[in-house]
Amino acid sequence: MAITSSAKKAIRSSAKKRIFNLRRRAALSGATKALTKALAAKDVAGAEKLLPAAFSAIDKAKKRGVVKGNTAARKKSRLALAIRRAQAATS
């Protein structure tokens, strides 16, 4: 248990930050899941519309340190590649 007042404050602030980080991570996974579900349903046009929202969620998570930079770049790259493959398959 924290004894000093600064340690108590650190616990309070880390609890608040944890909630924000959990929300950001949930938004990240929700956006990517929606995009992958659209691709699984062969809805390429719908997936293309969801791509900017997914990129935004990934960038916001990276900006706040929820995911590292290379992880964010990898996720964005794989989502874009999945859309390109789906477009090629339908063409």
Confirm whether 16 is domain-assigned.
no
Supply the CATH number for residue 36's domain: 1.20.58.110
pLDDT, residue 90, reads: 84
Q: What is the pLDDT of residue 22?
A: 96
Residue 6 within any structural domain of the chain: no
Residue 85, domain extent: 21-90
**What pTM value is reported for the model?**
0.86
Q: Look at residue 5 and tell me if it is in a domain.
A: no
3 domain-assigned: no
Are 54 and 35 in contact by the 8 Å Cβ rule? The answer is yes
Nearest of 69, 75, 70, 74 to residue 27 by alpha carbon: 75
**Mean pLDDT over each residue of the chain, to the nearest integer:** 95
pLDDT of residue 19: 97
Tens-place pLDDT, residues 62-73:
999 999 999 999
Report the candidate in 79, 62, 82, 81 with the shortest Cα–Cα distance to residue 71: 62
DSSP H helices in 1-91: 5-40, 44-63, 69-90
Q: pLDDT of 47-56, one tens digit each?
A: 999 999 999 9
The mean pLDDT of 15-22, rounded to a whole number, is: 96
The whole-number pLDDT of residue 1 equals 84
CA 22, 46, 41, 58 dihedral sign is negative
Q: What is the pLDDT of residue 91?
A: 75
pLDDT of 9 above 80: yes
